[in-house]
Amino acid sequence: MKRNILLLFLIVFYSCNDESSELSPNAEQSKVAFRSCTTIEPDIAGSSTGRVSYKGFYWLPGQTIRIKFLNGDEYLQNKVKQYANQWLQYSNLKYEWVTSGSAAIKIGFKWNGDVGSWSTIGNDCYTVAQNSPSMNFGWFDNNTSEEEFSRVVIHEFGHALGFAHEHQNPTSPIQWNTTAVYDYYALAGWDKQKVDNNILNKFSPSQVDYSNFDSQSIMLYSFPSSLTLNGYSFPWNTILSDEDKSSAQTLYPTATTTITNRLVSGEGLKSGYSIRSKNNYYKMSLKNDGNLEIMSLASGQIIWRSNRTSVVGTAARAEMQTDGNFATFKGTTLLWSTDTSGKLGAYISLENDGNLVLSNYRGQTLWSSKGGKVNSPFL
């Protein structure tokens, strides 16, 4: 993989087939394991810098991602958790595994008989219905090896965190034997267009973030040398490469002491703490009386408050909840909220005009202090 790993942030769907087929690019047919991922590619809105919209399908650094299993026994579920956590060692993200209610990532095992392993890309999982998987594992059972659990789970969670396939890196050195590739994948039922879209065509620099090709990446699939003109072949990679780790750290950097203007799902404020607008003109604080207040730092004027009347003290806390609600509490007692539950992936930010805005994962406003719901007058 690359320092700024391949990233796709539009409605891209990856599916991995697990089947044993007669797949050989030459006359000598031999039985091989065929596990390759396919992509259904949309029109990709790029930019001159090669970076796709930040508010498209990235998760936000520090965000807590809700995940639930739709089926599967406890053994398989625990294996997925075990290897999915590998990414968390190198990225500023958290998982919240839930057994009921709504979730961002929904995981199935052989869902409706699907024997493929696949995942949606990044936070595009929000568009998948709660009773349908956004990720599927099609061939796991209690006899699956640790190596295979590692390879497949880490790879699919790479897709879920926004990473694309390495062999389509714009800097890939692979010179494909196109005739051999077409013949090889035709035995799996792929037409030329599918082969072009998923194997032969490199991503355009305007579509993805990328740097140097990484032959050790967990996002690279195995290919025999008979499919290339320059002798390239790759085994199955089963663990994160150093570049995979570095890329995760780059995309989801660890929090610093720098004052931020937002709270993402799972983050909050204790009494006496605050966030500031990026221009440093406004500050939102959680006061000891349990109120949220927005102050103009230039004039000292309080321009908005959440209008609590009782004194709470240092027990007060504010939380951007993983269900999309922003609320204040005394212990477990709710004091005030934006009443936006059910909006997974929402985050709240203090804008440069002093407006406190709660947005969905697409960046669309759900609530604001200037035009919000009850208990939110702009003074």
* Model confidence pLDDT, tens digit, residues 314-333: 678 999 999 999 999 988 88
> How far is residue 284's CA from residue 355's CA, in Å, rounded to a whole number?
10
Tell me: the pLDDT tens digits for 275-297? 999 999 999 999 888 889 999 99
176, pLDDT greater than 90: yes
The residues, any chain, with a CB within 8 Å of residue 112's CB and separated by 6 or more, are none
Q: What's the average model confidence in pLDDT over 167-191?
A: 90
User: Parallel, antiparallel, or unpaired for β 356-359 and 365-368?
Assistant: antiparallel
> How far is residue 113's CA from residue 131's CA, in Å, rounded to a whole number?
15
> How far is residue 328's CA from residue 320's CA, in Å, rounded to a whole number?
9
> How far is residue 284's CA from residue 253's CA, in Å, rounded to a whole number?
24
Q: Tokens 């810098």 appear where?
A: 49
Does residue 102 contact residue 130 with C-beta atoms inside 8 Å? yes
Does domain 262-373 fall under CATH 2.90.10.10? My reply is: yes
Q: How far is the first Cα of the chain from the last one, in angstroms, to the nearest whole number? A: 51
Instruction: State the pTM of this model.
Output: 0.80
Does residue 71 contact residue 140 with C-beta atoms inside 8 Å? no
> How far is residue 17's CA from residue 36's CA, in Å, rounded to a whole number?
6
Q: What is the pLDDT of residue 378?
A: 35
Residue type at position 210:
Y
Given pLDDT bands bounded at 50, 70 and 90, which one contains residue 46?
very low
> How far is residue 88's CA from residue 95's CA, in Å, rounded to a whole number?
8
> How far is residue 303's CA from residue 223's CA, in Å, rounded to a whole number?
61
Please, which residues bridge with residue 176 across strands? 228
Q: What is the pLDDT of residue 115?
A: 86
Q: Which CATH superfamily is domain 37-251 in?
A: Collagenase (Catalytic Domain) (3.40.390.10)
Given pLDDT bands bounded at 50, 70 and 90, which one contains residue 374?
very low
> How far is residue 137's CA from residue 155's CA, in Å, rounded to a whole number?
11
The residues, any chain, with a CB within 8 Å of residue 332's CB and separated by 6 or more, are none
Q: Where in the chain is the domain with CATH 2.90.10.10?
A: 262-373
> How far is residue 17's CA from residue 190's CA, in Å, rounded to a whole number?
11
12, pLDDT greater than 50: no
Given pLDDT bands bounded at 50, 70 and 90, which one contains residue 265?
very high
Given pLDDT bands bounded at 50, 70 and 90, which one contains residue 35?
low
Burial pattern 273-298, b for ≥16 Cβ within 10 A else e, equals: ebbbbeeebbbbbbbebbbbbbbeee
Does residue 324 contact residue 345 with C-beta atoms inside 8 Å? yes
97-101, 121-125, 169-173, range with greatest mean pLDDT: 97-101
Q: Where in the chain is the domain with CATH 3.40.390.10?
A: 37-251
> How far is residue 51's CA from residue 8's CA, in Å, rounded to a whole number?
9
Q: What is the pLDDT of residue 318?
A: 94
The residues, any chain, with a CB within 8 Å of residue 141's CB and separated by 6 or more, are 76
